[in-house]
């Protein structure tokens, strides 16, 4: 059976969307206790993040709440006045440049496991600020395909000297998962709309 070019293009775009949905995911089975423990053990062996007992406890709580679904993580960031690298690392004292090094190195590992930055925004002014609150410089929201993919991304950079840039840049951070009540951010719909438009254009060529 011979297909006309328009139909061939349509089938190809449907295939592309199917691959996108497979990559983007968003629903799997929850983490097992053994998976959580294996990740925490890896962190302790490889020095994946700061040697902070409270951090390990927070991770254990986060991963113990897994329902197997996608989730959003909100990151509030306050930069250091000067980057705090170990003495043997000569990267200069710009905290913003240190954070960019971290982003360039880590984002490919996010994308590999279907995790995507939803937005990253820099503070542009002040409005309502209670006394003694942190002066956040950057707000970022990351969509994770699942908590399993969250730890896959983190585990993938173990021993790669990537997290050192993050903590050289950041003085204080507040990170917590959020669940949208209402949102116009619909990545699957945007992708489907884009491919539908492309299909209509291809059909009429």
CB 182 within 8 A of CB 96: no
- The correct CATH number of 5-203 out of 2.30.30.240, 3.55.10.10, 3.30.70.100, 1.20.950.20 is 3.30.70.100
What confidence score (pLDDT) does residue 180 get? 86
For the chain, the domains span 5-203
**Helical pair 53-64 and 33-46, crossing angle rounded to 10 deg:** 160
Q: pLDDT band for 1, please (50, 70, 90 cuts).
A: low
- Residue 29 Cα to chain centre, angstroms: 20
Q: What is the pLDDT of residues 9-32, one digit of tens each?
A: 778 888 888 999 999 998 999 999
pTM for this predicted structure? 0.87
What confidence score (pLDDT) does residue 113 get? 95
CA distance 147 to 30: 8
Q: Is 159 left (phi over 0), alpha (psi -120 to 50) or beta?
A: left
CA distance 190 to 205: 23
């Amino acid at each position: 059976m011979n297909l006309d070019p328009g139909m061939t293009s349509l089938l190809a775009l449907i295939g592309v969307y199917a691959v996108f949905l497979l990559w983007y995911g968003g629903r799997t089975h929850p983490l097992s206790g053994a998976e959580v423990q294996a990740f925490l053990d890896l962190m302790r062996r490889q020095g994946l993040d700061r040697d902070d007992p409270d951090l390990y406890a927070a991770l254990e709580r986060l991963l113990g709440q897994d329902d197997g679904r996608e989730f959003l993580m909100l990151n509030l960031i306050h930069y250091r006045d000067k980057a705090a690298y170990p003495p043997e690392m000569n990267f200069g004292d710009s905290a913003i440049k240190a954070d960019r090094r971290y982003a360039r190195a880590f984002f490919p590992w996010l994308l590999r496991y279907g995790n995507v930055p939803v937005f990253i925004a820099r503070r542009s002014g002040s409005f309502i600020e209670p006394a003694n609150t942190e002066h956040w410089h950057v707000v970022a929201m990351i969509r994770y395909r699942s908590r399993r993919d969250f730890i896959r991304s983190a585990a993938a950079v173990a021993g790669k000297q990537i997290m050192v840039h993050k903590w050289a840049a950041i003085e204080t951070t507040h990170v917590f998962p959020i669940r949208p009540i209402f949102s116009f951010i619909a990545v699957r719909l945007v992708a489907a709309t884009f491919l539908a438009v492309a299909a209509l254009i291809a059909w009429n060529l």
